[in-house]
Amino acid sequence: MGATANPKIRRVDSFSSAWYKFYPGFSESFAESVLSSAGLDEGAWVLDPWNGGGTTTSAAASLGLNACGYDLNPVMIIVAKARCLDPAEYPSLRPLTVDLGRKAKKLFKVSPDDPLLTWLVPRSAAAIRGIEAAIQTLLVDDREYLSVKARGTDAVSGLAAFFYVALFRALGSVFSHFRTSNPTWLKRPGSPNARLRPGADYLRRIFKSEIAKMLPKTTVIREIPRAERVLKVASSESLPLKTSSVDFVLASPPYCTRIDYAVATSAELSLLGFGYGSGFAELRRGLIGNTTVPEKAPPTSAAWGETCLGFLGDLREHGSKASATYYYKNHLQYFRSLSASVAEISRVLRPGGGCVLVVQDSYY
């Protein structure tokens, strides 16, 4: 990263923060307020190592600040890219929607191990893949179809990300039958016969309807500096950044309340090519705060501090069921990852830089 020229450009506000509901996020107005009051100079870099729904990077974009956002979940990187879509691209959205509608009608043959077949019968999965293939043909690569898992999120532009998010929303509507009272959980069908079987025309209508809801409707014009944006899949425990290269950090660490971020986005991950037998489990284990636990508990560290170690000791001795086994291991895993992430933030943050971490309290 380095300094960037900042010519003034005209920007159009949109309702992008409502495009995708991310359960554990903070508001864009809060992020803009924090960044506005940070006294950052032109060319300053803002970091969110747990970028999630992209609030920090979107707020930075609205203020003309350079920003980098990282997340291990590729779904969230695509959402963040859509939220940072350059308003200069907005006029292209309607004609692209028309062209997508035509191309999405082409027949697409799904493979027997397609992750969408977890929830959909083959002909319905083929219709969804037909829409995705149309997005790729127009905006990613017109030579061949590859899953985003195979291709990587770097190949997905802001424009392509916009339409991928519309398809995420369409899947969310279709898969609502499998949602539970827990907003971060998605069930799987109990048997192949319980899979959904929506028709191709219906799925294309839902997709088009979601695009219509996302199309910018505001007309507020303002001038802000042009800035750089880096949005990539990476672990907060090993950031691809140089030491002392970031001026400000604004982030909310993953919660330690058994929110399974992988399961919460399992429908979207299946669209990207992550099935339960093709990368999903590995991704899930890598996310901080996941509900899985290792067979062997990781060691504690004095660097975690007396408060943390005291809590872990109380947890291990707690009389409630599974406190000394599942919950103890779960929290050990969480604090180990969080400690490594905070050390990385310290490494990449320049001396005198600012850091705001939004946290919640909890009761065991």
Whether 183 shows a pLDDT value over 80: the answer reads: no
Full 3-state SS string of 62-78 = HHCCEEEEEECCHHHHH
Q: What was the pLDDT predicted at 62? A: 86
DSSP state of 191: S
Query: pLDDT for 346-364, tens place per residue?
Result: 999 999 999 999 987 666 5
50/71 Cα distance (integer angstroms):
5
* pLDDT averaged over every residue in the chain: 88
CA distances from 313 to 293, 296, 309, 328, 333 (A): 18, 17, 6, 9, 14
Find where tokens 């294309």 sit.
204
Whether 9 shows a pLDDT value over 50: the answer reads: no
pTM: 0.91
User: For the stretch 290-309, what's the b/e string if a residue is b when 16 or more beta carbons lie within 10 angstroms of its beta carbon?
Assistant: bbebeeebeeeeeebeeebe
319/219 Cα distance (integer angstroms):
59
- Rg (C-alpha) for the chain, rounded Å, is 21
Amino acid at 332: L
Q: What was the pLDDT predicted at 23? A: 64
Give me 337's structure tokens.
Answer: 């990852």
Band the pLDDT of 45: cuts 50, 70, 90.
very high
Query: pLDDT for 255-282, tens place per residue?
Result: 876 678 888 899 999 999 998 776 888 8
Whether 84 shows a pLDDT value over 60: the answer reads: yes
For residue 84, give the 3-state DSSP assignment.
coil
Q: What was the pLDDT predicted at 145? A: 94
Pick 226 or 51 by higher pLDDT: 51
DSSP letters for 86-151: -GGGHHHHHHHHHHHHHHTTS--PPPTT-GGGGTB-HHHHHHHHHHHHHHHHHHT-SS----HHHH
Largest CA distance in the chain: 63
Percent of all residues in the chain with a pLDDT value above 70, rounded to a whole number: 90
The whole-number average pLDDT for the span 87-92 is 86
Find where tokens 């691209």 sit.
89
The whole-number average pLDDT for the span 45-73 is 94
For residue 87, give the 3-state DSSP assignment.
helix
| 247, containing H or E segment | strand 246-251
Q: What was the pLDDT predicted at 17? A: 57
Please report, in angstroms and rounded to a whole number, the separation of the first and last CA atoms in the chain: 42
Q: What are the helix (H) ranges across 140-244? A: 148-151, 158-174, 200-214
Closest of 213, 101, 104 to residue 162, by C-alpha: 213
214/82 Cα distance (integer angstroms):
11
DSSP state of 183: T
Query: pLDDT for 105-123, tens place per residue?
Result: 988 999 999 999 999 999 9
Percent of all residues in the chain with a pLDDT value above 90, rounded to a whole number: 65
Q: What was the pLDDT predicted at 362? A: 64
The whole-number average pLDDT for the span 6-29 is 62
